[in-house]
Amino acid sequence: MLILTAVYALLFWPAAVAALWGWTDTNGNYVIDSGADLIISVSKSTGDINSLKYKGQEFNGWGGKNTHVESGLGASTVSIATISTNVIKVSVQHGTLKHYIVMRYKNNNVYLFTNKADNSVSAMRYIVRIKSGIFSHASTDPDYYDAGSSYIEASDVSKNSGSITKSKHYQGSTYGRTMDYDYIGRTTGKVGLYMIRSNHEKASGGPFFRSLLTRADPTGEDLYEIYYYNMGNTDAMRTGLQGPHVLSFTDGGAPSSSLYARNADWGWVDGLSLSGWTTWADRGYASGVGISNMKSGYTYTVGLANANAQYWGVASASNGAWSIKKIIPGTYTLTVYKEELEVYTGSITVTKGAGTAVNTLKSTDPADDAVIWRIGEWDGTPRGFLNFEDKAMKPTYMHPSDSRLASWNPGNFIVGTSKTNNFPGYMWTAINNGHLVYFKLTAAQLAKSHTIRIGITEAYINGRPTIKVNDWSATTPSATNQAKTRSLTTGTYRGNNVKLEFTVPASAFKQTASEWQILTITIVTGSTGTGYLSGGVSFDSIDLLS
């Protein structure tokens, strides 16, 4: 009897549980079986993914929401096709927008593409909606809205009972800037669900851009692939085909590095007939032999950008050699960044299926200029200033009012005595305005005028610094070109780098080497705002030229 039972199991159990590659038209949905451990369901009326089952467990959905472009496209024309023996493609047409969902045989990934042809359809992101109770969250997770927390700004920044601030805009030190992460996601240790970002060639903001990537609360959570994120953005929206970004399930570990945008070979996508796709072999590449005048201890990044696409690559720390592959042919602005500060700008043309060689590029660095004193480093970031002492830079993953931050008003700065972190990284008209810097000049230095430079990386509602030296006041500069949305309170200092210069006449100085000269830095704005939403700036560096 035992033998017969065993034989019966061998004959029939595999057929009952084995994955069956292919798709079926079921109850208004296209149900696609990967032939591995993943089965998804796509609505035939909207193109939403309304089921994500991995090893039989449902991951999709909270609050009646699905996984989809933006908050769901709504009524759309949806079709499905088996492209080859190992690829299935769902095509979604919504007005001028075309969206594609692709699965491959024996593969627990969903490959996603969206072609936004124009601005007639709102499509700024792709959202994966995950059921609650699957992944755990700590009370300190910056993107997790705890039960009982209350909003302190708009309806997206909250504070919990422990006075820890949370927001979907805050992503912590793990992900940081776009160039810092290959994927985002969650793991239980036994199951991992990840969104592997695309190369962002049709996104905007460049390599240092920070945006919302994940969000969670007790009712459910989201993963995002951002097409265009306007919070703090100073880059124009690009249209065209976004992707592939890949929704990947694993047995708890990280997703395969072969899917990372910097490693992936998307040659197989050429055969999918995707609107807007540039054939893999037709793309070019650019390589540079080096960068001169590099400074030790800084990362140098080379960026390419035009209205059609953007790319970047990190230069060698030893000689500045760099290479960027799989570029859509065209003419690009080439920018070299010392950390996040532009130190070279030029032009480059990339041709179809070929490489472009670039001779040594020379960095022009404001840090090379002779100074009497300098506060902070010229690197396009507020790193080193108060509340930005470490590489993670706390205000990028918490609200400026967070109890874990030091007071933004550290008192006067004394050149030669005070450390860099005695000067605030951010300054607002209503929070910590009017900082004093004390310094002395030699008799020779007192005999001539000097230039004070103030570098800023972002400005909120037209905030900008103006100065006073003793009793002399500078002309207030015009507002700089920055983002039109919140920035400093949503985890980013990244706007447009601006270096403001003020020429101080010799007559402004107290004419004795023993006396302290007093520099007053004040933030002004013509716009109305209160508290941390008053006019404000993020500092890069402040110095007095010799």
pLDDT on residue 172: 81
Q: Are strands 220-226 and 498-504 parallel, antiparallel or unpaired?
A: unpaired
Domains of the chain, first to last: 9-272 (2.70.98.10), 281-364 (2.60.40.1120), 367-545 (2.60.120.260)
Overall average pLDDT of the 18-28 stretch = 89
Overall average pLDDT of the 240-259 stretch = 98
pLDDT on residue 19: 66
Quickly state the pLDDT bin for 8 (edges 50, 70, 90).
very low
Cα of first residue to Cα of last residue in the chain, in angstroms, is 98
pLDDT, tens digit, for every residue of 252-284? 999 999 999 999 999 999 999 999 999 999 999
Residue type, 280: W
Overall average pLDDT of the 21-28 stretch = 97
The Cα-based distances of 457 to 228, 335, 380, 393 in angstroms read 20, 16, 6, 14
Q: Which residue has the tokens 């899917």?
A: 259
Residue type, 501: E
Evaluate if residue 229 carries a pLDDT over 80.
yes
pLDDT on residue 2: 32
d(CA 196, CA 244): 9
- 298 and 320 Cβ atoms separated by less than 8 Å: no
Q: Determine which helix (DSSP H) or strand (DSSP E) holds 444, and give its type and residue range.
A: helix 443-446
Residue type, 271: G
C-alpha 367, offset from chain centre? 27
pLDDT, tens digit, for every residue of 351-375? 999 999 999 999 999 999 999 999 9
| pTM, rounded to two decimals | 0.94
Residue type, 181: Y
pLDDT, tens digit, for every residue of 205-222? 999 999 999 999 999 999
Rg value, the chain, Cα: 27
d(CA 101, CA 42): 9
d(CA 389, CA 396): 12
